[in-house]
C-alpha cells in the first residue's frame, strides 16, 4: 500500500510498451463494457493540465493532503472540497492519544475510524498523527511510574497501529520531542523524564514491529531553517538512528509559518540534507499566515522546495478552510471561509504545473476570486461518484453532475485514476485525456443543458490491474 516515490520529475507519458498495453486494455475493456452498459464512446488523446491539488501533485509523483476535523464531516461544502482537491488525509485531532485512549486500556476508535473509512472509500491515503506526544496526553499517563509508562507507551503504539494496519502510509511515531530555542535539548516531557533519551528509539522499534509496511516518521516544527539549533538536533538524531539501524523512514516538517517565523531561504537545503541521510521528507502541517500575493509566493516556494527534493513525497496542509483553522485569524490556508480558492491556491498550482481548474462547488455566496464560481445565480455544478458494478478485474463508476442554483448550458469535470488503473470505456459523455492517460476530462455528449438543481450522469469502466481505489473527481466547471 505504500507508493514508491518517483525519483525524477519527467512527465508520466506512457512509453511504447505502456501505450500499446493501454490500447489493448481499451479494446478489451470497451468490448466488456459494451456488453454491460450499451453505448461506448471512442477514446481520444488530448492533453490538459491537472486541475486539482491532488491531480497536479500526482503528476509530479507526490500526494497532496489535508488535516480534517471529524466534526466538520457533515458539512457538504467541506466534504466536496476535501474529496475534490486532496488525496491524503491526516486526522487533525482524532488519532491523538487523548482521543484514542482516554483512560487506561480503554480504546475508542469510532471517530478515527470514520476518518479512516472516508479515506478508504475515496481512494485517499491516510497519514497517522500521532503516537507519542507530550501534548493532548491524558493525565493518567503523566502519573505512571517508569515501568508502567514504558509498557503503556508500547501498548498504545501496538493497539493504534494494529487498528490501522495496512491503511496508514506514514505514521508520526514521535512528535515534537525537542525544545525550541538555541539549546538543541530534548523536550522535558514525561516520556523524557521517565524513560530518558531512549524513549524515541524504543517507540520507533515498537512501531516497526507493529506495522512493518507503514513509513515511520519523526515530526516537528521550527525545524525548517537549516541553521537553527533545533533543526541540527533533529538532524543529528536521525543521522544517529540511520547509522545504528534504528528504524526511521521519514521526517515530517510541520511548516507552520508566520511573519515571525517565515519560510527560510535555506528551506530546500534543509529538506535535501535530511533526505541525504536516507529518509523521506514530508511537509506535514503546512499553513502560512497572511493573504494575497505574499502568502501565495510563500506557498509556491514551499511547494517548489518539496518538488526540488526527490525524496519529498508529499505535502499536507493543516486544514481545508481558513474558517476552521487552529489559527483562523491568520487566514493561513488555501481556501477562504466560503471555500473560494485563494491566491495561495494558485501559488501552489503554479508550482505543481497544474491549471487552476476554474469552478468550485462554491459556498453559500458567490465566488469573488476570479477562478471560482459560487452559489447565487452564477452557473455552477457539483459532482459525486459511486461505484455501480464490480467484476474480478474491473469496476464501473458513475459520476452524477448536478447544476447549482442557476441553469447551465455546459459543464466539464475530471476523473483521475491511479496507475496501474486504466479507464477502458466511457458512456454518456465525451472524454479527453491528459498525456499520462490517467486524467480524463469529461464533457457532455451533445447538449449540456441542465435546469437549476437537476442532474445528469456519465459512466466509465476502470481496469483495476490490482488497484481497487476509487477514482478522484476534479472540480466541476459550468457555464
For the annotated catalytic residues, the residue numbers are 285
CB of 319 to ligand 9MR, least distance (A): 7
CB of 368 to ligand 9MR, least distance (A): 27
Q: How far is the CB of 275 from ligand 9MR (least distance, A)?
A: 21
Pairing of strands 63-68, 88-91: parallel
- Comparing CA positions, the residue from 108, 1, 8 lying closest to residue 60 is 8
Tell me if 93 contacts ligand 9MR by CB under 6 A.
yes
Q: In this complex, which beta carbon is closest to ligand 9MR, that of residue 299 or of residue 460?
A: 299
Taking residues 127 to 146 in sequence order and writing x for each that binds ligand 9MR by CB under 6 A, - otherwise, the string is --------xx----------
The owner of cell 470505456 is 425
- Asked if residue 258 binds ligand 9MR (CB under 6 A), the reply is no
Q: Is the peptide bond before 202 cis (omega within 30 degrees of 0)?
A: no
Instruction: Give the nearest residue (CB) to ligand 9MR.
Output: 326
Element of type H or E holding 131: strand 125-133
Q: Which three cell numbers stand for residue 414?
A: 475530471
Closer CB to ligand 9MR, 78 or 221, in the complex: 221
Beta-strand runs (E) in 289-379: 312-317
Q: Which residues contact 161 (CB under 8 A, 6 or more apart)?
A: 128, 131, 168, 171, 207, 210, 211, 214
Residue 7 CB: number of other CB atoms within 10 A? Answer: 8
Query: Are 328 and 322 contacting, i.e. CB atoms less than 8 angstroms apart?
Result: yes
**25-51 b/e (C-beta count within 10 Å ≥ 16 → b):** bbeebbebbeebbeebbebeeeeebbb
Query: By C-beta, is 332 or 371 nearer to ligand 9MR?
Result: 332
CB of 362 to ligand 9MR, least distance (A): 26
Distance CA 337, CA 363 (A): 8
Minimum separation from the CB atom of position 67 to ligand 9MR (A): 7
How many other C-beta atoms are found inside a 10 Å radius of the C-beta of residue 20?
A: 11
Residues 268-297: x/- map of binding to ligand 9MR (CB under 6 A)? -----------------x------------
Name which of 122 and 130 has its Cβ closer to ligand 9MR.
Answer: 130
User: In this complex, which beta carbon is closest to ligand 9MR, that of residue 285 or of residue 356?
Assistant: 285
Shortest distance (Å) from residue 249 CB to ligand 9MR: 19
- Contacts with ligand 9MR by CB under 6 A: the residue count is 8
Pattern 221-240, ligand 9MR, x by CB under 6 A: x-------------------
Q: Which is nearer to ligand 9MR, 135 or 467 (CB)?
A: 135
The secondary element (H helix, E strand) that includes residue 326 is: none
Residue 13 touching ligand 9MR (CB under 6 A): no
Q: Angle at which helices 292-307 and 343-352 pack, to 10 degrees?
A: 30
Alpha carbons 298 and 155: distance in angstroms, whole number? 41
**Any idea what the Cα angle at residue 471 is, between residues 466 and 474, rounded to 5°?**
155
Site for ligand 9MR, residues 33 to 62, rule: CB under 6 A: none
Chosen residue from 152, 254, 340, 372 binding ligand 9MR by CB under 6 A: 254
Joined grid coordinates for residue 126: 491516510
Within 429-468, which residues bind ligand 9MR (CB under 6 A)?
Answer: none
Q: Mapping DSSP to helix (H, G, I), strand (E, B) and coil, where does residue 26 land?
A: helix
Site track for ligand 9MR across 307-326, x = CB under 6 A: -------------------x
Task: Return the number of the residue (75 or 369) whose C-beta is nearest ligand 9MR.
Answer: 75
For the CB of residue 421, give the shortest distance to ligand 9MR in the complex, in Å: 33
Chain centroid to CA 215: 15
- Name which of 163 and 254 has its Cβ closer to ligand 9MR: 254
CA angle 421, 423, 424 (to 5 degrees): 120
Q: Is 139 helix (H, G, I), strand (E, B) or coil?
A: helix
For ligand 9MR, the binding residues in 184-223 under the rule CB under 6 A are 221
Build a one-symbol-per-residue string for 325-364: x at contacts with ligand 9MR by CB under 6 A, - elsewhere: -x--------------------------------------
Which residues fall within 8 angstroms of residue 214, CB to CB, at 6 or more apart?
A: 2, 128, 161, 165, 168, 169, 170, 171, 207
Nearer to ligand 9MR, 70 or 216 (CB): 70
Least CB distance from residue 133 to ligand 9MR, whole Å?
7
Q: What are phi and psi of 261, to 5 degrees?
A: -140, 70
Smallest separation, CB 107 to ligand 9MR (Å): 19
What is the SS3 assignment for 161? helix
92 near ligand 9MR (CB under 6 A) = yes
List of residues contacting ligand 9MR (CB under 6 A) = 92-93, 135-136, 221, 254, 285, 326
Amino acid at each position: 500500500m505504500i507508493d514508491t516515490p518517483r525519483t525524477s520529475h519527467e512527465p508520466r507519458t506512457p512509453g511504447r510498451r505502456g501505450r500499446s498495453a493501454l490500447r489493448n486494455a481499451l479494446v478489451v475493456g470497451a468490448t466488456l463494457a459494451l456488453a454491460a452498459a450499451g453505448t461506448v464512446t471512442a477514446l481520444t488523446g488530448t492533453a490538459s493540465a491537472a486541475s486539482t491539488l491532488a491531480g497536479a501533485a500526482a503528476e509530479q509523483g507526490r500526494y497532496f493532503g489535508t488535516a480534517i476535523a471529524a466534526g466538520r464531516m457533515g458539512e457538504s461544502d467541506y466534504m466536496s472540497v476535501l474529496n475534490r482537491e486532496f488525496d491524503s488525509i491526516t486526522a487533525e485531532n482524532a488519532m491523538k492519544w487523548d482521543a484514542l485512549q482516554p483512560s487506561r486500556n480503554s480504546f475508542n476508535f469510532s471517530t478515527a475510524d470514520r476518518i479512516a473509512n472516508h479515506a478508504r472509500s475515496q481512494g485517499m491515503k491516510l497519514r497517522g498523527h500521532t503516537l507519542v506526544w507530550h501534548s493532548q496526553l491524558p493525565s493518567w499517563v503523566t502519573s505512571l511510574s517508569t515501568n508502567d509508562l514504558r509498557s503503556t507507551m508500547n501498548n498504545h503504539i501496538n493497539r493504534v497501529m494494529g487498528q490501522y494496519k495496512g491503511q496508514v502510509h506514514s505514521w508520526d511515531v514521535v512528535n515534537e520531542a525537542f525544545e525550541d530555542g538555541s539549546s538543541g535539548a530534548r523536550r522535558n516531557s514525561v516520556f523524557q523524564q521517565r524513560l530518558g533519551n531512549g524513549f524515541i528509539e524504543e517507540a520507533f522499534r515498537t512501531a516497526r514491529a507493529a506495522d512493518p509496511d507503514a513509513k515511520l516518521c519523526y515530526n516537528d516544527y521550527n525545524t525548517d531553517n537549516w541553521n537553527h539549533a533545533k533543526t541540527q538536533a533533529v538532524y543529528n538524531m536521525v543521522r544517529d538512528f540511520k547509522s545504528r539501524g534504528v528504524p526511521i523512514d521519514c521526517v515530517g516538517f510541520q511548516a507552520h509559518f508566520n511573519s515571525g517565523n517565515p519560510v527560510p531561504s535555506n528551506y530546500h537545503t534543509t529538506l535535501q540534507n535530511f533526505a541525504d541521510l536516507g529518509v523521506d521528507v514530508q511537509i506535514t502541517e503546512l499553513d502560512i499566515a497572511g493573504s494575497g500575493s505574499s502568502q501565495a509566493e510563500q506557498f509556491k516556494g514551499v511547494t517548489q522546495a518539496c518538488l526540488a527534493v526527490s525524496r519529498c513525497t508529499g505535502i499536507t496542509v493543516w486544514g481545508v478552510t481558513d474558517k476552521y483553522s487552529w489559527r483562523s485569524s491568520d487566514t493561513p490556508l488555501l481556501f477562504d471561509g466560503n471555500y473560494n480558492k485563494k491566491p495561495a491556491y494558485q501559488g501552489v498550482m503554479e508550482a505543481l504545473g497544474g491549471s487552476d481548474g476554474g469552478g468550485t462547488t462554491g459556498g453559500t455566496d458567490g465566488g469573488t476570486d476570479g477562478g471560482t464560481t459560487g452559489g447565487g445565480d452564477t452557473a455552477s455544478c457539483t459532482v459525486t461518484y459511486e461505484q455501480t458494478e464490480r467484476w474480478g478485474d474491473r469496476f464501473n463508476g458513475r459520476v452524477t453532475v448536478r447544476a447549482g442554483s442557476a441553469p447551465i448550458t455546459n459543464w466539464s469535470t475530471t476523473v483521475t485514476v491511479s496507475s496501474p488503473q486504466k479507464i477502458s470505456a466511457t458512456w454518456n459523455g465525451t472524454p479527453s485525456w491528459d498525456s499520462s492517460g490517467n486524467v480524463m476530462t469529461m464533457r457532455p455528449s451533445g447538449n449540456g443543458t441542465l435546469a437549476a438543481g437537476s442532474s445528469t450522469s456519465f459512466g466509465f469502466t476502470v481496469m483495476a490491474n490490482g488497484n481497487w481505489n476509487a477514482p478522484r473527481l476534479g472540480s466541476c466547471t459550468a457555464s
